[in-house]
Amino acid sequence: MSRRDDGGGSAEPERVPLRRKPRPEPWYAPGLRFECTACGKCCTNHGEFSCVFANREEREALARHFGLTRNEFEARYCEPVDGGLSFRSQDDACVFLKDGKCSVYALRPAQCRTFPFWPELIASEDSWQRDVASFCPGAGKGPLHGVEEIRAAARRAQL
Ligand code: SF4
Ligand code: SF4
């Protein structure tokens, strides 16, 4: 960066605003390989993972799909968890898992669309290994997902 010269010989140093520190590189900076094999395992309750949260717009879209009002849909398919609404479990899996496949795939909520790039799953390599790679056959396979794509998915997962 240059300094201003007003010709008077009394130029003051230019004020340079402080900049944000660069973010430290996350452990997944080289990217993560992932390709869903549609095995349905992540739609099955495992350990502490048994909730499928959907926001109001997502529940409304599903209600329309079933020809129900949102209240009717929520009464039939949802239950309150931690101040939100989760899809009910049936046979130890999401109520919409039928014959090992998602029966509402086109309308699945952001939580499902963004798996396995949820903030808590990518928080560390340990959490990735423990809560994703240990059971998801798509982890470590397929195309390489870059760090910005992973971060964007993690942000969408929180909406
Ligand atoms: S467990 Fe992994 S491979 Fe299986 S459906 Fe879920 S994301 Fe896809
Ligand atoms: S909505 Fe579909 S993709 Fe999401 S957990 Fe249920 S069955 Fe799986």
Radius of gyration over every alpha carbon of the chain, rounded to an integer in angstroms = 23
89 strand-pairing partners: 94
Contact yes or no for 121/128 (Cβ under 8 A): yes
Does the beta carbon of 46 lie inside 6 Å of ligand 1? no
Q: What is the pLDDT of residues 42-65, one digit of tens each?
A: 999 988 888 999 999 999 999 999
Distance set, CA 7 to CA 2, 4, 16, 59 (Å): 15, 9, 21, 68
Interval between CA 15 and ligand 2 midpoint (Å): 54
Q: Which amino acid is at 9?
A: G
pTM of the model: 0.84
Q: What is the pLDDT of residues 89-106, one digit of tens each?
A: 999 999 999 999 999 999
Give the whole-angstrom CA distance, residue 118 versus residue 158. 8
